[in-house]
Amino acid sequence: MSQPFLPFTRPAIDEATIAAVGEVLRSGWITSGPKVKEFEAQLSAMFGGRPVRALSSATGGMEIALSMIGVQAGDEVITTPLSWVATANVVLRAGAKPVFVDCDPRTRNIDLERIEAAITPRTRALFPVDLAGLPVDRDRLYEIARKHKLRVIEDAAQSMGASWGGKPIGSIGDLVSISFHANKNITSCEGGCLVLNNEDEARQCELWRLQGAVRRGDSWEGMDVTLPGGKHNMTDIAACIGLGQLKALKTFNERRAVLARRYFERFDRTLGCELPLADFEHSNWHMFQILLPEWAARGPFIANLRAAGIGCGVHYPAMHLFSLFRELGHRVGEFPHAERIGRATVSLPLFPAMQDGDVDRVCAAIGPALAAASTQRATA
């Protein structure tokens, strides 16, 4: 009897949360309302009392953050080429230029020791990404930011529950955008939040979140619009799911760490794959990513795993090689570490409902999938 298909990821939503969503639907208040406020309050408590505003996506949080610090045409924002393309897209949408810095091949995050060489008089912000939930070194990051008087927008979309210096990501730093997308460590189906520094920033975020509209008093005649905001508000339905997920975050992340340890224990190191950094102090193990050996064709390898009933992902191709960024002057060979990682990376299944035996099954399938991919490449 064949085994059931093992997906790359699967959200775990309990019956209590499903029932709570039903109550929200019956309440008649399904857009931003009391559940959003409750979710924000619980997130704020998790992040040391810092103000938090819930949003429809982490991308929206990054857009708002750029607007709040005044990034505009002619400005530059330093980031990594190895991320979901939203990180650079929001900079372009602000009219500014994303300035890429190559990756540290060990962490696969932006190489902090290369940042200062990329800073110019036009640089307005640093925009690091915590790839796969492994945090960028916050001590070194903020040392650079203070030295050059730069704001920091943390693309912490993947790092809910990760930590630095014993403190949760989001409880320290400048502006922090976190995702609750369906494949993240906790989900609100779609959604995210922006962690801010003070209540003045929180009020400004509220304006950017919903069309810049403000009411003065209870009358519609008191309505005003003070800035060109967007439509980034979270619904009460999404917040209700997020509240249920938040209760399980610690359990979810502990289980992810157990599964990651098992990958390290059971993986055949003779296959020539490169495993991620085994950082169990800081990472939330959002993803477990291997790099295939150069001789292995990734497309056939993924197809072979799928034929064996195992799903996986590619997170991410080096974005400077996409047509959009080539048109801006980027080229092959510009960021060799990001390019190597981007063409070799495969994200293996990792989610809390997985069983230990699922990890063993994946590890057992990798050797045959690689061997077949090698043959397929040779005969192509």
| Nearest alpha carbon to residue 319 among 124, 104, 117, 102 | 102
Is 184 in contact with 158 (CB distance < 8 Å)? Answer: yes
Q: Give the Cα separation of 115 and 132 in Å (integer).
A: 21
CA distance 346 to 201: 38
Helix (H) or strand (E) holding 78: strand 76-79
Residues 6+ apart with CB under 8 A from 308: 365, 368, 369
Is 35 one of the annotated active-site residues of the chain? no
- Ramachandran class of 135: left when φ > 0, alpha when ψ lies in -120 to 50, beta otherwise: beta
6 vs 313: CA distance, rounded Å? 12
| SS3 track for 276-293 | CCCCCCCCCCCCEEEECC
Rounded Cα–Cα distance for residues 44 and 252 (Å): 20
Which residue out of 184, 231, 247, 250 is catalytically annotated?
184
Residue holding tokens 């979901």? Answer: 84
113 exposed, middle or buried (CB, 10 Å; 0-12, 13-18, 19+)?
A: exposed
**Residues with catalytic annotation?**
184
